[in-house]
Structures are given as structure tokens and as C-alpha cells.
């Protein structure tokens, strides 16, 4: 059952590539309309409504770029393949990637239990971040994943994340595992110099 409508559109000048909208199901509508009956049935069958539905009702859509534009080739070379692009109307306001922070509190096996976010301008349009090191790791359900140590502009703090790439494929496999992402989206919090303020709280739970 589609949770986010299946459609495509141009991203505009900032993201020139054609974008394919994310769906948690292989089925979707070609004209971009949501299957209302299926959406209602999904909500009724779930004890806790999906964060994707919440986000869609807030006017935010989830999209996956089909290819990189020229401005992002350097990020692609460093392993910064895109996750979901967040849209408010036609305006790209951020992105969501599936990765876990490498802290003592997280699973040492790096199973991708958290989903965190960055603003589109931080990691896609801003070239100021510096990758200190990167190594490939294994995450169940991901085609590939990287443990990345990096710093942000005007910030010497070393940050470490594990980033699962090929997000469209990952999402399909996560759906098969009944993993539900609970997202709280507040696009007003999107600021170009901050990393964690588009989605304030994101968790995945296996049923």
C-alpha cells in the first residue's frame, strides 16, 4: 500500500536531476495522486500512524534523486549518496539518510537503528565539510554503507556516522522487515549551518 504517492518532478535549479518520489510499496499512481482507500486502510491497520503519513499531511514529500547533478559530484566521490530529499511544496528543505552515530550508546554492530538528518545545504550544496576518514562496513539490508569521520565548517569537532547508501533499495528491504520510521518534521527548523534540525526525532522499530 502506498504511504507516499508515487510521482516524479523536476527539482529546479538547486537539484537539476529528475527526482523519483519515495514509496514504501512497489505500487503507486502515475499521475501523482495518492490511493486514498489504501492510505486509510493502512492507517486503520496500524496502532501507531506512520511518520511518512504525518510528514505528507504536513506538506513534506520524500523523494530520491535518480542521479547526481554536477554540483554534487564531489560529495558522491566521498560516499555522500543521497537519502530522501525532503520537499515542502516544490522547495527542497532537507534530506534524510539512514545511518547511526558511532557512540557508545549505539549498537556496536551498526544495525542502523537510528535515522538522523541534515539540511540539504549542509551536505549537498555546501562544500565546506571535510571527510577525515571513511571505511566500508556491513549493515543488514543496505547495498553498501560507510563509517565516515568528518568535520563541519567552523567546527573542529570530529563527527562519526555510518551512512547506508542506495536508500531506495534499503527502504524497500526495510519495508519487508516491517521497520517503521517515526518522523517529526518541522521544516521551519531548517538552517544552513545546522545538521540535526529538520527531523527532530526519528526512530525505527521492528515489529
Average pLDDT over residues 156-181: 41
Q: Where are the beta strands (DSSP E) in 102-140?
A: 115-118, 130-137
pLDDT band, residue 79 (cuts 50/70/90):
very low
**Boundaries of domain holding 164:** 8-206
> How much is the pLDDT for 197?
29
Out of 19-33, 35-49, 161-175, least confident range: 19-33
* Ranges 4-8, 47-51, 61-65, 119-123, most confident: 61-65
Please check whether residue 183 lies inside any domain of the structure.
yes
Residue 90 lies in a domain: yes
In a domain, 103, yes or no: yes
Inside any domain, residue 1: no
Portion of the chain with pLDDT greater than 70, in percent: 1
Whether 3 is covered by a domain: the verdict is: no
Whether residue 136 has pLDDT greater than 70: yes
Answer yes or no: is 121 within a domain: yes
Among 31-35, 153-157, 199-203, which stretch is predicted with the lowest mean pLDDT? 199-203
Look at the block and give the residue holding cell 559530484: 73
Give exposure, 46-62, as e/b (b: 16+ Cβ within 10 Å).
Answer: eeeebbbbebbeeebbb
DSSP code for 114: B
186 within some domain:
yes
Domain count, the chain: 1
Task: Give the residue-averaged pLDDT of 77-104.
Answer: 42
CA pair distance 153, 41, nearest whole angstrom: 46
Amino acid at each position: 500500500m502506498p504511504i507516499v504517492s508515487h510521482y516524479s518532478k523536476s527539482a529546479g535549479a538547486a537539484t537539476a536531476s529528475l527526482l523519483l518520489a519515495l514509496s514504501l510499496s512497489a505500487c503507486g499512481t502515475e499521475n501523482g495522486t495518492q490511493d486514498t482507500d489504501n492510505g486509510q486502510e493502512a492507517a486503520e491497520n496500524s496502532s501507531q500512524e506512520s511518520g511518512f503519513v504525518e510528514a505528507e499531511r504536513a506538506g513534506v514529500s520524500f523523494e530520491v534523486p535518480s542521479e547526481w547533478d554536477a554540483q554534487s559530484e564531489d560529495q558522491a566521490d566521498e560516499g555522500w549518496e543521497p537519502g530522501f530529499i525532503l520537499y515542502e511544496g516544490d522547495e527542497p528543505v532537507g534530506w534524510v539518510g539512514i545511518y547511526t552515530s558511532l557512540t557508545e550508546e549505539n549498537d556496536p554492530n551498526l544495525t542502523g537503528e537510528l535515522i538522523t538528518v541534515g539540511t540539504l545545504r549542509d551536505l549537498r550544496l555546501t562544500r565546506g565539510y571535510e571527510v577525515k576518514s571513511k571505511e566500508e562496513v556491513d549493515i543488514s539490508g543496505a547495498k553498501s554503507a560507510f563509517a565516515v569521520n568528518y568535520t563541519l565548517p567552523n567546527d573542529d569537532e570530529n563527527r562519526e556516522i555510518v551512512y547506508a547508501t542506495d536508500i531506495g533499495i534499503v527502504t524497500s528491504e526495510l519495508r519487508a522487515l516491517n521497520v517503521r520510521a517515526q518522523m517529526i518534521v518541522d521544516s521551519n527548523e531548517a538552517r544552513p549551518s545546522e545538521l540535526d534540525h529538520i527531523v527532530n526525532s526519528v526512530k525505527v522499530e521492528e515489529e
